Chains A and B, each alone.
Chain A
Amino acid sequence: MEQQTLIDYTLHLADNALVLGHRNSEWTGHGPILEQDIALSNIALDLIGQARNFYQYAARLSNEGGSWGTRAVATGGGVVAAGVTGGGGVEVTEDTLAYLRDSWDYRNCLLVEQDNGDWAKTILRLFFFSAYQYYFYQSLQQSRDRELAAIAEKSFKEVSYHLRWSSEWVIRLGDGTEESHRRMKEALDQLWKFSGELFVPADYEKVLAEKGIAVDLMAIRPQWEERVDVVFRQAGLTKPAAAWGQTGGKQGRHTEHLGYLLAEMQFLQRAYPGCEW
């Protein structure tokens, strides 16, 4: 069912952006220096803005008919049975999708949900993902789904800056002091096993890629690898040899970290459904 596949795919893109946006926003007020605090907060806002665009589209598709979650949830207006709408259900909005789905319904990659750690880990996570999004959005602009293509076009400019900013930090830290280099290496050890999943397509990606709607991940992987090589060379870092990579996020099987993130992010809407402030 194509409609359902498109909802799944759009939610996957939205979840990626929201979860990383939220992670980055956790630095707001805690950045190492005022100027970088603002820089990372700006990036967080860009990502949450991208997430909103995707959620709004996913909500529209869901209201036409489809499933966006597996659990019955209470909303301000009533109960949405098993997250299936279309034909008489309560209207799904971007907030429903962000605040009322559980971790098994989230389809983000494992990389973006990993905890912030230190500045080095936060920077490396952003660099890996920005490099991915850079080529991903470039390609998604050619999607046969015009809505996705339009969001990609707008987001591409933002991500170009994220990639530039995070690349420079990777180089600064990797090629910096003994301590900063050590911290980058530790971050690399912790994050590398989550980078492969970016390029392992879920079923909904395979189906839509054949139709020219989703990005062909195989096609952008070499570009990503090359970009990482270029930056790592300047940073004096070595990419670990191909190793076992952890997957499952795109299917809703997450690491322990996502649950804590959602608990904090969703608390208000869960405790006070429909609350506005």
Chain B
Amino acid sequence: MENQNTESRSSWPLWEIFIRSKQGLDHKHVGSLHAVDAAMAIENARDVYTRRMEGISIWVVESKYVHASNPDEAASFYDPANDKVYRHPTFYQLPDELTHM
């Protein structure tokens, strides 16, 4: 508890920043920054991450609301997909004219 107190007094909360670079593309995670609220996080993101015309839309999510998978469980989570080649759509014959697949 005391720890939390010092934390909140000495620094602003952390926010994860997602930027969409072009119309039609998805928002991509670009990094994180500090801000006191969502409005300031968006402005900070504008100033930190879109100075060189990188984006046309910004999402911000306070980092504490991001839940992550546990690295310790990686083996049971991801390894079983290793030998399931039939899940890849690579067995279809595609006509030569069809590109961008």
State whether B34 touches A165 (Cβ < 8 A). no
Interface centre among A35, A42, A164, A165 (most CB of B within 10 A): A35
Q: Which residues on A are within 8 Å of B, measured CB to CB?
A: 33-36, 38-39, 42, 164-165, 168, 172
State whether B39 touches A35 (Cβ < 8 A). no
Closest chain-B Cβ to A47's Cβ sits at a distance in Å of 15
| Cα A36 to Cα B44 with chains together (Å) | 7
B33 proximal to A (CB < 8 A): yes
Closest residue of B by beta carbon distance from A42:
B47
State whether B34 touches A39 (Cβ < 8 A). no
Q: Which residues on B are within 8 Å of A, measured CB to CB?
A: 12, 33-36, 39-40, 43-44, 47-48, 51
Q: Decide yes or no: A33 and B12 within 8 Å by CB, A39-B43, A168-B39, A168-B40 being known contacts.
A: yes
User: Could you say which residues of chain B place their CB within 8 Å of the CB of A168?
Assistant: 39-40, 43
Closest residue of A by beta carbon distance from B51:
A42
Q: Decide yes or no: A39 and B12 within 8 Å by CB, A34-B34, A168-B39 being known contacts.
A: no
Closest residue of A by beta carbon distance from B39:
A168
Closest residue of A by beta carbon distance from B43:
A165
User: Could you say which residues of chain A place their CB within 8 Å of the CB of B36?
Assistant: 172
User: Could you say which residues of chain A place their CB within 8 Å of the CB of B33?
Assistant: 34-35
State whether A35 touches B44 (Cβ < 8 A). yes
User: Could you say which residues of chain B place their CB within 8 Å of the CB of A39?
Assistant: 43-44, 47
User: Could you say which residues of chain B place their CB within 8 Å of the CB of A35?
Assistant: 33-35, 44, 47-48
* A-B CB contact pairs (8 Å), 12 listed: A35-B33, A35-B34, A35-B35, A35-B48, A36-B44, A38-B44, A38-B48, A38-B51, A39-B44, A39-B47, A42-B51, A168-B43
User: Could you say which residues of chain B place their CB within 8 Å of the CB of A165?
Assistant: 43
Closest chain-B Cβ to A182's Cβ sits at a distance in Å of 19
| Cα A172 to Cα B36 with chains together (Å) | 10
Closest residue of B by beta carbon distance from A169:
B40
User: Could you say which residues of chain A place their CB within 8 Å of the CB of B39?
Assistant: 168
| Cα A33 to Cα B14 with chains together (Å) | 13
Interface centre among B33, B40, B44, B47 (most CB of A within 10 A): B47
CB-CB nearest 7 A-B residue pairs: A35-B44, A39-B47, A38-B47, A35-B33, A42-B47, A38-B48, A35-B48
Interface centre among B12, B35, B40 (most CB of A within 10 A): B40
Closest residue of A by beta carbon distance from B12:
A33
Closest chain-A Cβ to B35's Cβ sits at a distance in Å of 7
Contact of B34 among A33, A42, A164 (CB under 8 A): A33
Closest residue of B by beta carbon distance from A35:
B44
| Cα A172 to Cα B34 with chains together (Å) | 16
User: Could you say which residues of chain B place their CB within 8 Å of the CB of A34?
Assistant: 33-34
| Cα A165 to Cα B33 with chains together (Å) | 17
Closest chain-A Cβ to B24's Cβ sits at a distance in Å of 24
Closest chain-A Cβ to B47's Cβ sits at a distance in Å of 4
| Cα A117 to Cα B12 with chains together (Å) | 23
Closest chain-B Cβ to A25's Cβ sits at a distance in Å of 15
Closest chain-B Cβ to A68's Cβ sits at a distance in Å of 33
User: Could you say which residues of chain B place their CB within 8 Å of the CB of A42?
Assistant: 47, 51
Closest residue of B by beta carbon distance from A43:
B47
| Cα A224 to Cα B96 with chains together (Å) | 65
